Amino acid sequence: MMGRGLLGIEDLERADIETILETAERMQEVGRRDVKKVPTLRGRTIVNLFFEPSTRTRTSFEIAGKRLSADVVNFTPASSSLTKAETILDTAKNLDAMAPDAVVVRHAVAGVPKRIADELGAPVINAGDGAHEHPTQALLDLLTVREEKGRIDGLTVTIIGDVAHSRVARSDIYAFRKMGAEVRLAAPPTMLPADVESLGVKGFTSLREAIDGADVVMALRIQFERLAGALFPSVREYSATFGVDRAKLRYAKDDAIVMHPGPVNRGVELSHDLADHRPSVILDQVRNGVAIRMAVLYLLAGRTRVEREEE
Ligand code: CP
């Protein structure tokens, strides 16, 4: 269904997304057991290849693999032969020679997971590449919204912040649109993507207008490590205009939920109160990240190399 890996939501059909969500909904039950382990991927090997820091994505891929009884190897760039000038592609090819059944890749440069996927026998899962895509984040966001609202079709989802440079936003726009939601963006002009129209979404520079009647309010992290300081005059001004707090949330529907992919800059994108309390569902997103990654690993690493090659 996802071909030889999961590189982005843009490549998926709605039916593929439905299959992943339904599989993840079955996986959620494993996470509620006393013994959180099933033998589904016994004998399979998953390699986590993270060239950028991560807490949620890397850990949840590891937990997901272990809950399915796979052997999970966490590759650490700082203690690898990358420090002896071995290239990323040579590194990936050498790891592939050890016959993993899936390779999970995060990199600061857009397109690196695809470049690796083109060379490898194992399916590659994009765990976030530059400002391109973060497909499993969008899938866990869909799962969380479906859990909360019982549907995605017909909902209004407002995404706030540095959309232009956010892989989470790009994947979420594709995901929520494919599943029938209306997507609105709210940001200073410097943070709205140039291709708003072609993405099929509406861009707003007024948070109040963008939030008006929304079912889902999603705040993005300000990426201070990626030139964010050049995109708005001051953190204080950004927070006053685009930071979400209970006063601004009043314009959304009464039962609106608040989401954030993490890590949260408290008091900047979200008030401290909303970072910790409902209607924010941030830790539900994290919990659902394990189920989504179990589903993706099951769907991709469940087949043997021979089965994949015969496709
Ligand atoms: N949401 C997300 O990608 O978080 P991490 O960077 O901690 O993996």
Residues 216-238 pLDDT 10s: 999 999 988 766 667 888 889 99
Classify domain 5-134+288-300 at the CATH class level: alpha beta
Edge-to-edge strand ranges of the sheet holding 257-259: 202-204, 182-186, 156-160, 216-219, 257-259
Give the residue from 156, 161, 205 showing the smallest Cα distance to 182.
156
pTM recorded for the entire structure: 0.96
Same fold, 5-134+288-300 and 135-286: yes
**pLDDT tens-digit series, residues 10-31:** 999 999 999 999 999 999 999 9
Dihedral sign for Cα atoms in the order 45, 29, 12, 56: negative
Determine whether the shortest distance from the Cβ of 128 to ligand 1 is under 6 A. yes
CATH topology of domain 135-286: Rossmann fold (3.40.50)
Helix (H, G, I), strand (E, B) or coil at 162: coil
- Paired strand residues for 158: 184, 217
**Cα–Cα distance for residue pair 245/203, rounded to 1 Å:** 20
Determine whether the shortest distance from the Cβ of 57 to ligand 1 is under 6 A. yes
Distance 240 CA to ligand 1 centre (A): 25
Give the residue from 224, 222, 220, 223 showing the smallest Cα distance to 210.
220
Determine whether the shortest distance from the Cβ of 135 to ligand 1 is under 6 A. no
**Cα–Cα distance for residue pair 82/49, rounded to 1 Å:** 12
Determine whether the shortest distance from the Cβ of 262 to ligand 1 is under 6 A. yes
Residues of the chain with pLDDT below 70 are 1-3, 226-229, 311
**Cα–Cα distance for residue pair 77/68, rounded to 1 Å:** 25
Ranges of each domain in the chain:
5-134+288-300, 135-286
Distance 12 CA to ligand 1 centre (A): 22
**Cα–Cα distance for residue pair 123/309, rounded to 1 Å:** 11
pLDDT of residue 3: 62
Residue nearest to atom 5 of ligand 1 (CA): 54
